Amino acid sequence: MKPSDVIIIGAGSIGLPTALFLAEEKVSVTVIEELPSFGQGQNKSAIGGVRATHSDAAKIKVCLMSLEILSNWQKTYGDDIHFQRGGYCFPVYREDDEKSLKSLLDTQRRYGLKIEWLDADGICNLLPGINRDGLRGGTYSPDDGNVSPILTARAFYNQAVRCGVRFVFREKVTGIALKAGGVEVRTNKGSYSCGKLLNAAGASAREVGRLMGLELPVEPDCHEGGVTEPVKRFFNPLVVDIREMEGSKNFYFYQEQGGHLVFCLTPDPPIIGTNRESTSSFLPMAARRLISIFPRLRHLRVRRTWRGLYPMTPDGIPIVDKVDGDGRLYVAVGFCGQGLMLGPGIAKNLVSLVTKDKPLIEDEIFRSFGLNRDFGRKEEVLK
């Protein structure tokens, strides 16, 4: 089989856009995926939020690029991925949370995020029916939005195939060896050669990393989501409640194009592992949290729930870096449940890193994603 310029391990939120954007630069690409199809790992479990509302400069800049790509996708490529620019809203009920969110505004604006603080009346106008009791106000970033994860993955895959990307499914990578001038990738069914290799294996990143001679600090934990029956659209933003409650750190939800509410929470303590079976504890917790914010939704019926994986790093920030000095091995892993929103922007920077040995955003900011960074710091507030 003819060698590829680049092999990507993983056909998910990072592998798909990176494959497409490399192919658009006339780079030959093979994507190897152990599952039966693209987007079958963490990607299909995402709820669809895309925000640049972060506190880390690199994540802000990369997600602004993602928003630019996704908001213009239908105009550029013709696929309807159900992009909605509804914004993100963080309503606040506690003084400490108000101080924390306000303390981030100058930094967020400095790196290009459009965001404002609204008083309680402003939040009530933005979110009709929100629980007003104790509401102090909140942040609103109008340019954030949401997409359909499934339609987005399909769109990236279709465009990548049209550009000549070769996809290999149902093959598990079993060995990686550096050879003269390139890399050999062995699977349970054969072997492939390339000039450069990218580990974008999601929850399997650590396992693949060991084949590369790396010990990547990526450990999956389990999160659950759900979707309700459709109701008439009554609000636009994706809402994030950052209060800690019994069993959960935060809760977030939005109303998608068809009127369904899609929701998720961050379990506390974290549920480490790869078990993707739904639990009996999630829905009662999520329902209590939803009703505490929107009492009017107490009779809304839930259609289904599901469980996916967040490949976590110790500091909650992805690892995107060149591994070796001669530029044959790369990693883009540990996206902490934010692969969908970071993916397109990360892919653009990866293409530049692979082809020009430098990212698109400033080097000193991109180093936030570095493999050899201090993992002791954590992103403030916005998980």
101-152 per-position pLDDT tens digit: 999 999 999 999 999 999 999 999 999 999 999 999 999 999 999 999 999 9
The SS3 assignment for 160 reads helix
pLDDT, one tens digit per residue, over 296-348 is: 999 999 999 999 999 999 999 999 999 988 899 999 999 999 999 999 999 99
Query: Per-domain residue ranges for the chain?
Result: 4-61+149-218+315-369, 84-144+219-312
CB 154 within 8 A of CB 13: no
Residue 224's contacts (CB-CB under 8 Å, 6 or more residues apart) are 264, 265, 267, 278, 279, 282, 286, 305, 306, 307, 308
pLDDT score recorded for residue 253: 98
User: Is residue 141 within a helix (H) or strand (E), and if so which, with residue range?
Assistant: strand 137-141
pLDDT score recorded for residue 377: 77
pLDDT, one tens digit per residue, over 204-252 is: 999 999 999 999 999 999 999 999 999 999 999 999 999 999 999 999 9
Q: Would you tell me which CATH number, out of the four given (3.40.50.300, 3.30.9.10, 3.40.50.620, 3.40.50.1000), belongs to the domain 84-144+219-312?
A: 3.30.9.10
pLDDT at position 1 over 80: no
The SS3 assignment for 193 reads strand
pLDDT score recorded for residue 220: 96
Domain 4-61+149-218+315-369: give its CATH code.
3.50.50.60
